[in-house]
Each structure stands twice: as structure tokens, then as C-alpha cells.
Structure 1
């Protein structure tokens, strides 16, 4: 029987914090306890935010924590053709369309629809709180799309969720952790809650949703252990796995490390970095205690 394969996949767009340490340590120790493999993947598709110094710091922080990984490290930016190939397959099945609205234009459309609603109901949001796509780009004719693309406008490539679900109904996954609402065991996937998600952009041939399922499949990852904030993203990932005919890993979503206000730690909120804690004299044992590991 093949050995289980675990992975830790940070983005080098900032320094690692305690939440990253918890996830990396948990994956590393589960791999070691099961006699499995542990992989490190660098998710660096965002060329505007990812920087070499952050990637170098990831290696330094993980080594300091006592975590080892297999070489070579997979860097997403070196495998863009894998994502383009998947997008071409989905596009060839009529499941992808370009949408040309900016974030500001989408916000305006949402406000207009909420104002026009006689019930006063708010426009539907996805599990992360972002409004579902309100535009009409899905109904554009092929010539109209070509004309807009030829104008060199920016665009997002969206998944036609209704058409995709018609090709992959009744999806579920086995949750080995505990979900956002306490769900465990067999969990019904609800990708429709995300609307027509973005799978790529004009300047970037992939998004998190697409790249994570492609990378996990190509690397043979059998066990995806990640934060609870990604629990409902699994619905989209199960849909893409089914559409692309790639294997489903086992899923385990773990608790989040929270700050003093009860919010999850985040690079965007300037959570204290591991390198800063190390500079203050913290030891790897202190980090384990801070994240609640024995």
C-alpha cells in the first residue's frame, strides 16, 4: 500500500506566523507518525505580492522548527503550463467564460441589485462573504467576447457553475477533522454557494482553487490537512476534481490559531511573524506551546 503523502503549501507574500507553524507542524508530524512523506510547496502565482525574501524566510522558519521536507520543492510559478492545460480542458467543454468587470464595477452592480430588490434582501454572498458574480458576461456571444478581448481589457475567467454542476452532481467528501459547523464524516459539497468562481485571469493562468487541486493531484498528495477557514472551499475543489478526473484526497480541517481578539492570524493584519518571535528569544518548544501542541 502506498505511503500517505502530506504537504504544507504557503505563499511567499509575507512572513510565516503561528498559524502557519501549527499547520506545518501538524502535517509534518502526521506524516512521520504514519510513515508517510511530507512535501513543501511554494504557492507563488501572485507575482505582484510574492517575493524571494519571503520564500527564503519560509525555509529558514521551517528548518528552525525542526521540519524537514523532500526535495525538490514544487514552485507553482514553474509549472504554469499544468494550469493552462486544465483551463483549456474546461474551456473546451464550454464551462469557462471571460468576465470584464472590475471589482468596483461588481460592487456597483451588487448595490444596484440590492436597491432594486423589493424585499430589501441583500445580494447573496459566498462562504467568505464576497458577493456572488452579478454580471451578464455569461450570456455574451462568442463574437462579443472576442471584441472585448481584442480591446485588451482585463478579464477574469469564471467557471459556469450551473453547467459544471450538471456534469458533476451529488458531490461529497469525507471529513476527518471537524468542519465549520461541526460537520464530520460524509459532508455534502455545495459548490453552488460560491457562484461562478474565478479560475484564472488574463495575466495569470490559474487561481488558488484550480492550482491547489492540480498540484495535489500531480504531487500524489493523499491527505490534505489545512485550516478550518478553507473548509467550504473543499466544495469547489471536489467539483474541479470530478470535472478533471483527478483523485480525491482525504481531508482534515484543523482549528485556527486566533489572536487576542478572537480573529484568525493573518499576514494582512500583521500577525507577529515567527522570525520576530525567534528574534525575541522564543524557542521551537515555545512555538509548540503557543499553538497548543505537546
Structure 2
């Protein structure tokens, strides 16, 4: 059992994509032993490379204690949830925003770990209550919404479900603090606080671009210089991924109404494979 004010001794991360690799990196850098679950050996190798690349970048910026390769030794890649250690204290799910996929990996992980383990979802919008309904121990479950890029982001949004116990919340708040990140606690609601506001701003910026109010650079610079946003809404959408933003907008449209209706331009770009930085082109071109 981890001490108060320290990170968990053992952490499982379900998914080794950009977010999962970042979550694994920050816990490993803080001293946790981390198991990253991927679908197969090839995906596991890619996830390992992502974590190592992130550790090397952190070392270059003077943000890592120890050598990247030494920290990487705390990270192991697995392809079956059964391989999660029974004593794992925290499991963070970081697979794509599809409820059925999240439920599948969370329920498999819950069966593999001990009864005291905390399970968390990195979902940016899906209902914590609906995901919890599939679990045997919903009191041990909540949302831990990290932000991209995880190592550089200062915030974790902690989303408390209707059945989340106070003990689970307090354990997670302590772990977030031990990572050196700030936390905000929000009640389970569609889009929580950050996605709901961020998506709404992003969608309006896309509509403005669609209506030729201004070009992408001008819209972003207006928010950066006029409102001191560190990044404009269109560049931020490119960073998050247009497909991810579209999926969140569609969910919020269904649950909260027409103000979250995705603009045609967003749908067209996703259909064309223009997904932002990860595809090389979105509202901007990326090297």
C-alpha cells in the first residue's frame, strides 16, 4: 500500500496510445511500477517506444530524475489483463472514446486485480455512472481525466460518480498531488467541466472558420492575445484530434442538445482523414 502523499506502488494503464503512454510515463517517473496493457506485441512495442521518447524529452528539458532507460525499467508491457498484478493499487483506462470498449477492458481489469484497487477512466466526456454500472465494485471507480500532453499538463480533472466512495476520491486526490499536478473535482455530468467548455469554444471557432469570419490563425491569435489562452481553439483541436473532438461533440449533442451540434466542416475533415497533428493535417499542416 502506498504512503499518503506518494504515488501508488503499482499502476496499470489500459491502452498505450498517446494518452496512455503519457500516463504511464508520469507514474513511472514518480516511482511507480507500471504495467501497460496493449492489444498485441506489435502495439506493445510501439507503446514502449512512446514512453521512452517521452522520457527522453523530459530528460532533455531537465524534468526527469534519472536516466530515461533506467526509468523505463519500471514499465512493463502486457497483452492480457490477467497479467496485471493482483496487488495493483490503481488502474487507469485510456482506450478510445467508445463506451463498449472501455467497459470491456475495465471489467477484465477489475477481475484481475484485488478488491481494494481503484479503477479510473481517462474519458473526457462519457458518463462515469454508466461505465460504473458494468463493474462489480463501483465504489472504487471514478474519472481521472488527464490532458494532452500528459507530462507537461498541470491538471487532472477528477470526476466523481454517484457511487464513488469518499475513500476512493481521497486516495486519487493524494496520488494526483504526488504527481505534482493540480486537481479539480467535478460531479459526473456530460462533458464534465473541461470538455464541455473546451468543445463548445472549439465548435464555435470551427463555425467561424466555416463562415469565413477569419482564417484559422487569426481566430486562434485573437483568443491567445485577447484572452490569454495559451493555445487557440483550432490549434487545440488539431492537438486533441478532430476525430476525438467530433466523437465528444456527438455525445454532447445527444445528451445536452443542439448547441453541441458538430459543424459540417468538422465532419468533412474527419471523413477526409484530416485529423490534426497525428495525421499531419487538420486546421493546420504539421510536420
Higher-helix-fraction structure: 2
**TM-score, length basis structure 1:** 0.30
**TM-score, length basis structure 2:** 0.30
Structure having the higher Rg: 1
The higher relative CO (CA closer than 8 Å, separation ≥ 6) is in 1
